[in-house]
Amino acid sequence: MAKRDRMSQTHSEATRARLLVVDDHAFMRIALKAILARDSVLEVVGEAQDGQEAIERCRGLRPDLVLMDVSMPEMDGLEATRRIKAEFPLMGVLIVTVQADHKLLLEAVKAGAAGYVLKGEHPDHVLDAVRAVLDRETPLDQGLAMRLLRCLAVEVAARVARPQAGLTTPEPASAFLSNPLTPRETEVLSYLASGKTNRQIAKELHLSLSTVKRHLEHILAKLKVSDRTQAAVKAVEMGLPAPGGEGSRNPWPPVLRERSRSS
């Protein structure tokens, strides 16, 4: 099925996805808007030229997705992303960057971004990335996503094993869930965080694709996140082990796996 068809099923014809374009260069904003205009399901409802203005636009316009530049005056895109996700956790953010720098992308994911798209990318790739976020998929390459999650897991494990003086180790994210995940949802989340697609999860768990998608929607709602990238981040913070037992390829450091067993 074509990507446009999948988008049409996710967002009905009566409901267009509302987008905010943020970049300090007017030319880049114009270029992005021209690309997004190629899909009738997408609607650019506003634009901003720095992070502070982006926050104000989000408050007034409530977009479904923000295309966020990184390097901007007044407030950069990473800080704006952190503040937007803190105020609107269900609002998606897609980073727009010049190059896929590993450290930058890790900081973007930690800030709450669903992924990134490169400036100068082919228009079809830009649209695919936007559609992926709106369809609750990840626009990150699977290998890159796993590397970022492993780096994040190492950071979390370091805080657990050697908390800095004067700082307390944060409680697992699961402790703050008002509506806990069911055993099946926990299992789906573990597969999701190990890099599996919805189809792969369905095959592994012998479920229909629609059932997996329904579980994913429940997981995102309970975790109060907008996309599967941030759901995977939550899985790391919760110390969920990768599925399949000790023989599986587990992306998390041993200290996190031990922590999840003892909790």
Q: Is 57 helix (H, G, I), strand (E, B) or coil?
A: helix
Strands 92-97 and 65-69: parallel
pLDDT for residue 257: 39
| Distant-in-sequence, close-in-space partners of 37: CB < 8 Å, separation ≥ 6 | 44
Run of H or E including 94: strand 92-97
Q: Are 250 and 242 in contact (CB under 8 A)?
A: yes
Specify if 258 maps to a domain.
Answer: no
Q: What dihedral angle (degrees, nearest 10) is formed by the CA atoms of 8, 10, 15, 17? A: -90
How many whole angstroms separate alpha carbon 29 and alpha carbon 19? 12
The pLDDT tens digits for 134-162 are 988 777 766 677 777 777 767 766 665 55
Q: Are 153 and 112 in contact (CB under 8 A)?
A: no
Cα-Cα end-to-end distance for the chain: 43
Same domain, 136 and 152: no
Specify if 196 maps to a domain.
Answer: yes
pLDDT for residue 69: 95
Same domain, 111 and 149: no
The conformation of residue 164, written as its DSSP 8-state character, comes to: P
Specify if 263 maps to a domain.
Answer: no
Count of H-run helices and E-run strands, the chain: 12, 5
Same domain, 123 and 10: yes
Same domain, 90 and 29: yes
Same domain, 167 and 73: no
pLDDT for residue 243: 63
Specify if 162 maps to a domain.
Answer: yes
Count how many domains the chain has.
2
Last residue of a domain, one of 77, 106, 140: 140
Same domain, 135 and 160: no
pTM of the model: 0.74
Strands (E), 30-78: 42-48, 65-69
Same domain, 100 and 7: yes
| Distant-in-sequence, close-in-space partners of 215: CB < 8 Å, separation ≥ 6 | 184, 185, 188, 207
Which residues in the chain land under pLDDT 50?
Answer: 1-14, 165, 167-170, 172-173, 175, 245-263
User: What distance lies between CA 175 and its chain's CA centroid?
Assistant: 21
Last residue of a domain, one of 140, 174, 194: 140
Q: What domain range is 157 assigned to?
A: 144-252
Nearest to 109 by CA among 238, 259, 260, 234: 234
Q: Are 230 and 138 in contact (CB under 8 A)?
A: no
Same domain, 163 and 211: yes
Specify if 260 maps to a domain.
Answer: no
The pLDDT tens digits for 193-223 are 887 888 899 999 999 999 999 999 999 999 9
Last residue of a domain, one of 109, 140, 171: 140
Same domain, 105 and 185: no
Q: What is the CATH number of the domain that holds 247?
A: 3.40.50.2300
Same domain, 195 and 73: no
Specify if 58 maps to a domain.
Answer: yes
pLDDT for residue 198: 87
Same domain, 104 and 184: no
Same domain, 168 and 228: yes
pLDDT for residue 38: 95
pLDDT for residue 31: 95
Q: Are 215 and 120 in contact (CB under 8 A)?
A: no
